[in-house]
Amino acid sequence: MTIQSFFPPQRTLMGPGPSDVSPRVLSALARPTIGHLDPCFVAMMDEVKELLQYAFQTTNKFTMAVSAPGSAGMEACFVNLITPDDTVVVCVNGVFGMRMIENVNRIGAKLVVVEGEWGRAVDPQALEASLKENPQANFVAFVHAETSTGALSDAKTLCAIAKNHDCLTIVDAVTSLGGVELRVDEWQIDAVYSGSQKCLSCVPGLSPVSFSDRAAEVIQNRGIAVQSWFLDQSLVMGYWSGEGKRSYHHTAPVNSLYALHESLVMLQNEGLENSWARHKTMHDKLSTGLAELGLDFIVPADERLPQLNAVYIPEGIDDAKVRNFLLNEYNLEIGAGLGAFAGKAWRIGLMGYAARNENVTLCLAALKEALKQ
């Protein structure tokens, strides 16, 4: 059989990511490929770095995009900073906290878990208690915006507690970056990673990361080699660094970086605070509509992520049937539940370019129809 060219349908992406990608970003993506050591490309990388510093609200020199999806960004933060001698406190309140545990275990470091309720923010008091019980802990890790439940944790407070106990902080900002307030420097985050395909509305495949000076020092002074060559950030920095000659490490995903650049230019033009406000406005409108449809949120109102709205599937409603109806009749994707909420919830994303008036209204109208089927 001869395989033909692939033409995807035009969907509206309101799941947990990838989110809708704007025509501007798709257009940037398709610009002619140039070499990863081309002076024009290297200059563009410097701009990506500067734009990421703005998005993360940081002056960290060690800011770049990992050439792989968010889960590789997570792994880059863990394997570069942590050695088997370290003790890491991981706060878990969903799937992505569980993944942090996987990372710590595969490093062979000592692990302390702060078990939280799925669908709630991480409890600062539980972290405080755990750090008192484990004075040897030197890292605290948690998820700022838990994509599996839609819970937003108070990263500022959690980092302040970690700092009081002299711990470095690792924060998952995959779904938060660009969608809610995130201030890496002010909040004293030492390592943060995100994904290109959430509130930045870029194509999936890149993971913006940033390391504080203190984290960079830890990486540079670790006694043993990082277990991953591909993710060894001290080598990668030789390529991303603005100082002097760039040394080849791996071939950068050139076109995806064009797209990331464009999505960050759009964020810069809108303004970070305006982007946060837009996500909130769209969320309020969606919430009102979901309440009218009788759908209940998993997360209490004051701990909700605007960009990821997880609601319980009503009794007697067929999960797959509703999602298939939306996809087939409206080319509209909403997300299924994940982990503990598989089959029990839907996740409606309002991320980046998807967080628009027309999408909210379409989603509510289509969902109303779907629930009647």
Q: Contact with a second copy (CB under 8 A): which of 65, 72, 180, 182?
A: 72
Q: Binding site: which residues?
A: 347
CB of 307 to a second copy, least distance (A): 15
Rounded to the nearest 10 degrees, the angle between the axes of helix 357-372 and helix 319-330 is 130
CA torsion sign for 110, 116, 122, 123 is negative
* Cβ distance to a second copy smaller for residue 162 or 272: 272
Q: Contact with a second copy (CB under 8 A): which of 59, 84, 106, 217?
A: 106
Exposure string over 41-62, b if 16+ CB within 10 A, otherwise e: bbebbeebbebbbebbbbebbb
Q: What is the 3-state secondary structure (H, E, C) of 50-71?
A: HHHHHHHCCCCCEEEEECCCHH
* Cβ distance to a second copy smaller for residue 233 or 287: 233
CB of 249 to a second copy, least distance (A): 8
CB of 350 to a second copy, least distance (A): 15
- Using the contact rule CB under 8 A, the part of the chain among 40-48, 120-128, 278-286, 355-363 near a second copy is 40-48
- Using the contact rule CB under 8 A, the part of the chain among 55-63, 163-171, 186-194, 257-265 near a second copy is 257-265
CB of 317 to a second copy, least distance (A): 20
* Cβ distance to a second copy smaller for residue 1 or 301: 1
- 333 phi, psi to nearest 5 deg: -100, 125
226 binds a second copy (CB under 8 A): yes
Q: What does the block give as tokens for 64?
A: 């770049």
- 146 phi, psi to nearest 5 deg: -80, 105
Nearest to 260 by CA among 44, 63, 61: 44
CB of 212 to a second copy, least distance (A): 23
